[in-house]
A and B are shown apart, each in its own frame.
Chain A
């Protein structure tokens, strides 16, 4: 019974999704001299004061906490861009705007640690929250349009949003799949018993209960 396994299983917790987002690269401006750092994911540095450099978000946060750098907020995190995105999100009910895959987590980390480096911090923050709420509501409306399809395509959904609906969607699709199979069987059975010869030429017509 696939639809009845433990409901508490969700593949990732929000904290884990945030952890993965910390590998995204961000631009920082260091204010100290430091030799290059050699990591498995690559080499970062050398760090020279006032020379912008791209580092993983976790490293940027660590340096920022020690007062060794300032953030350069990513281009999409500006009032103008976010206002545009919010407008577009509100206009279309079915499509999602292109945002970084982990925009929720990056925004959260930047708001927590780089408050002073983001211009119009409060405006930006409320815009990001609005966008997130609009998108979540839209995603939920989209879930209602499932009609037992086996494949669902929704593009531009971010990591946190996917993670949020994953347990629900997985189980819902399993249930749809389970209930669609008997319908198909019944359909075929009634057809083949009545008109075995013409069954192939007939256009497919799903049986509806009256």
Chain B
């Protein structure tokens, strides 16, 4: 990294907060319009009922649950990766962590929205909450769907906290550099941060505790999401491998999303001096490991099913290998393994552009994977007379597309309000690296020794 003075770091990282370019406004307007289209589609669904979707017997979980699993998985980009890098004291993490943590909070919020979108009567969503009910209708604590409620809320709380706490010193920084209503806003947002040793040491300790706490929570969240499926005796779902398989897939898609987000931030916010090739290369290596691990899980799961040769399992297996779902299945394999593996394994190809191409493939592939887990199993349950199919409606497609636009919109707004790279952590990193790096002896000194 090029050594920058603290003042240069301040200027570079606070620049995106200062003004908005026409290009930014145009992109934001586009995403807002797509989100509004999604909101309109949802309102139409609320008014007309779930009949406007493609959901019908026997496939009652379609795009919405696919989106739910996908977004919850994508949320593993941030907090989990950030917590691991913090605990392992990886110094290269500093420009990356906040970009990642923001994805977690927004992706998790979008994911948590989908069970409500999926409800026929969303205004009764509170029936899912475990609270003393005067109606005598009690939520079933044995249902994995209720476990989701606890797991997602705990993870959301942990992730928001993990994101917000290290933002406080940066809020104080912005507070001191702004005037008028902005100063008042950042004055409130900084929660009275002044930077005393007491505040710094408490913040460091809180972040350490949060990092320790949030890793098992992140693992539990996607395990529980997998149990939404694995607890049901449905062919293709009832598998002990599902929890680690889902966690692996979640981290896989999370890293891919992070790489794409970082590349976009680097380009549009001109952060070339901070988000360096080394960051993409290191994350690319992680993505390569996850790609191999994902392939191993898929192979193990498919092999066990094929070897078992149970009739109900094979009724799901063959349509995905050579039947109507085969194009999607093989597209998934291409996106998640065939494309990323060579790009990420060959050092020359593991460039910024290369990792981004691989990541785009992975995000598409992981969405397909979620779809292929859900729909083929539901459309081929035990009794052949109940076999069916599923075709998403326009409403579902619009809402799905709107969530991607929603993430982009939220990310853009966030990067205009809060520095997307942690300024104080970066400066502290620069100081630490300068202070701890041993001075290299000159060649003539070595020869003299």
Physical interaction between A and B: no
B interface residues (Cβ-Cβ under 8 A, vs A): none
